[in-house]
């Protein structure tokens, strides 16, 4: 067994033009004062990290890590969620996903894809320079528009889609292998990797690449009505990153899983601050500890009701209160007896 590390916080949703959320120093001081021990850094926010420089300069990485450490914090992972999304984008989503790309690559899907691939590779090198062995990302999607098969999918379409997805990711995964970093895909609606079956499809398409792993976020499974507890039993060996985010699913006679195109607050399935939804985090932390999952518990705030400030204040103690210090001894050791073989034979009447 292994104790889950934390509490930590994903900085992405808290970035703002106002202090303290517009500088690395400001966000580190803020997070540390709230009781967090780690930060997950979104690499698309250049004021938090210059990924180009981090991939080229050990001095830059040493200084960045030293600055974070000076606040009593550790970097848990680098996140390339937005860049990973752009590794695979179906043309139906081109215009909206262009918002994630630098201006030089907008309206040019091929150039945008290549930029995304090279950027996610840089995160592998930067992670190694920072002493990190895990990174977080999205898979992107070529097939999401076909998930509900109407019109019916032609035979071979899904297989071809995952072959192409793996083709794009394999060069990236090989760079992560070269740098000793596991790439954890957040299993998430909208991505081709959105449940257990699709994760297995991708893993198989990559030839069971050893760097293909999972960022486990149970909130996405509640919205799919997937058993997020048993998921850990199936995939614990791949879970190397963990988002603590809550959600709830309350369907009625007018709306269900599809949501009726409503805003988040109007949907049957919606995200909540940790502790405000339906997720059984006590069992999740128990399972992760029992299986020895070496993860940081990283609070991701996405709530349609509560303010981010309150969510952040409550997140650190919520995680801290759920972390289980893994025992190093068996509770009934005090009642143990001799292990002499002859004594054991007597017990068995041999």
Across 305-315, average pLDDT:
97
pLDDT of residue 329: 75
Percentage with pLDDT > 70 across the chain: 98
Residue pLDDT, tens place only, 131-184:
999 999 999 999 999 999 999 999 999 999 999 999 999 999 999 999 999 999
* Residue 47 β-bridge partners: none
CA 25, 243, 2, 326 torsion: positive or negative? positive
> What pLDDT is attached to residue 339?
78
Tell me the C-alpha distance between 244 and 205, whole Å. 29
Given a cut of 90, whether residue 337 has pLDDT beyond it is: no
Number of domains the chain is built from: 1
343: confidence class by pLDDT, cuts 50, 70, 90? confident
Predicted pLDDT at 26: 98
pLDDT at 338 over 70: no
What is the rounded distance in angstroms from the CA atom of residue 249 to the CA atom of residue 226? 11
Question: What CATH number does residue 298 fall under?
Answer: 3.20.20.150
* Domain hosting residue 34, numbered range: 5-347
Residue 334 pLDDT: 62
Specify whether the CB–CB gap between 139 and 189 falls below 8 A: no
Q: How far is CA 232 from the centre of its chain?
A: 14
Query: Which residue, among 168, 238, 181, 230, has the nearest Cα to 208 in the 3D structure?
Result: 238
Give CA separation, 72 vs 37, 60, 102, 121, in Å. Answer: 7, 19, 33, 29
């Amino acid at each position: 067994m292994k104790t889950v590390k934390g509490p930590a916080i994903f900085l992405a949703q808290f970035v703002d033009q106002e202090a303290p959320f517009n500088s690395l120093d400001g966000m580190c001081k803020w997070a540390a004062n709230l009781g967090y021990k780690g930060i997950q850094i979104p690499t698309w926010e250049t004021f938090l990290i210059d990924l180009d420089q981090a991939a080229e300069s050990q001095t830059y990485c040493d200084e960045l890590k030293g600055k974070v450490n000076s606040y009593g914090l550790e970097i848990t992972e680098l996140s390339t969620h937005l860049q990973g999304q752009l590794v695979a984008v179906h043309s139906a989503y081109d215009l909206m996903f262009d918002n994630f790309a630098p201006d030089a690559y907008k309206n040019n899907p091929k150039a945008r894809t290549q930029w995304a691939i090279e950027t996610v590779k840089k995160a592998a090198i930067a992670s190694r320079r920072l002493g990190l062995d895990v990174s977080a990302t999205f898979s992107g999607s070529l097939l999401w528009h076909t998930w509900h098969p109407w019109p019916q999918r032609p035979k071979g379409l899904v297989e071809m889609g995952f072959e192409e997805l793996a083709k794009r990711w394999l060069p990236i995964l090989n760079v992560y292998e070269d740098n000793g970093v596991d790439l954890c895909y957040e299993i998430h609606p909208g991505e081709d990797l959105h449940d257990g079956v699709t994760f297995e499809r991708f893993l198989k398409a990559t030839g069971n690449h050893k760097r293909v792993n999972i960022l486990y976020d149970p909130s996405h499974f509640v919205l799919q009505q997937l058993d997020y507890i048993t998921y850990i039993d199936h995939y614990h060996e791949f879970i190397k990153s963990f988002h603590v985010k809550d959600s709830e699913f309350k369907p009625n006679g007018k709306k269900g899983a599809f949501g009726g195109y409503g805003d988040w607050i109007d949907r049957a399935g919606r995200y909540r601050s940790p502790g405000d939804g339906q997720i059984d985090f006590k069992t999740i932390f128990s399972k992760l500890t029992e299986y020895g999952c070496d993860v940081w518990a990283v609070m991701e705030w996405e709530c349609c009701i509560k303010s981010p400030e309150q969510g952040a204040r409550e997140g650190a103690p919520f995680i801290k209160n759920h972390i289980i210090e893994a025992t190093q001894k068996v509770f009934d050791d005090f009642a143990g007896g001799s292990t002499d073989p002859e004594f054991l034979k007597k017990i068995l009447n041999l």
